[in-house]
Copies of this chain bind each other. A is one copy, B any other.
Amino acid sequence: MTAISPTDRATVRRLPKRGNYDRNTINAILDEGLICHVGFVVDGAPRVIPTGYVRIGDNLYIHGSPASAMLAVGGKPQEISITVTLIDGLVLARSAFHHSVNYRSVVIFGPAHVVESAAEKMEILKAFTDHMIPGRWADARKPTEPELKGTKVLCVPIIEASAKIRTGPPIDDKEDYELSMWAGVLPLATVAGTPIADPDLRAGIEVPSYLKEYPVSAKQAG
């Protein structure tokens, strides 16, 4: 078990029992999610934008247009924060007060820096595509040099990070266990539907096997 040494701001203070600093736990949540929410500061005010991401080793990568405000990191590293949240269920306690959500989330703080190397960017886009749809990269038309140049990639080392996890049944006040309403968990999961072909798809092209086998239980939006 490789533990991350939490800094002050990466320490889970609210309900600290839910905090977890084990790198394997953090990596598993990052690998299961599809979308992160990136926080950054513009003119002193916070802004939060959803985007895709991929983890490679101990680094997290996001990418987008060089025109994106989110990616407006110049020569010097910029402080951003990245949060990935997986929702596992709704927790129905007997009391309204103790209703909760079962979830697994990761928060990463850190200075982000721009990835400049074209070869490295290509490797990251490969990992990004296969993180979203395992097996897709081999099929896709690969990025051209202008496309690579037109893609800004940011790297955030997973150093200041923590996971926060809630699992299990509701926790009610002792006297409430005598009450007669139902209590428990309503599980939620993200599932893939039937692939919808592009109306302009050439005739005779079958749905690829990696979509038929899409790992619905191992990928969650959020």
**Chain A: residues with CB nearer than 8 A to chain B?**
9, 13-14, 34-35, 37-50, 52, 64-65, 67-69, 79-83, 85, 87, 89-90, 92-97, 99, 101, 103, 105, 107, 109, 125-126, 129, 132-133, 136-137, 139-144, 147, 151, 169-170, 176-202, 205-208, 211, 214, 220-222
Q: Do the beta carbons of A197 and B221 come within 8 Å of each other?
A: no
Q: Copies per complex?
A: 2
B181, A139: Cβ atoms under 8 Å? Answer: yes
B196 x A182 contact (CB < 8 A): no
Is the beta-carbon distance between A85 and B35 smaller than 8 angstroms? yes
A45-B41 contact, Cβ under 8 Å, with A92-B136, A97-B147, A184-B201: yes
Inter-subunit contact B179/A197 (CB<8 Å): no
CB of A46 within 8 A of CB of B40, answer yes
Task: Compute how far the CA of A137 lies from the CA of B95 in the bound complex, rounded to whole angstroms.
Answer: 9
Chain B residues whose C-beta falls within 8 Å of the C-beta of A211 in the assembled complex? 92, 182, 186
Question: Contact partner of A99 among B65, B129, B189, CB < 8 A?
Answer: B129
Majority secondary structure of chain A interface residues (helix, strand, loop or mixed) = mixed
A-B contact list, 19 entries, CB within 8 Å: A9-B43, A34-B90, A35-B103, A37-B48, A41-B41, A44-B79, A46-B47, A92-B133, A92-B211, A96-B125, A96-B136, A99-B140, A182-B208, A183-B198, A184-B197, A187-B194, A188-B190, A189-B190, A191-B191
Contacts of A205 in B (CB 8 A): 180-182
When the two chains form their complex, are residues B187 and A79 in contact, meaning their CB atoms are under 8 A apart?
no
A132-B99, A133-B186, A205-B182 given; A221·B87 CB < 8 A: yes
- With both beta carbons as reference points, the residue of chain B lying nearest to A206 in the complex is identified as B182
The residue from B42, B89, B105, B126 contacting A50, defined by CB atoms under 8 A apart: B105
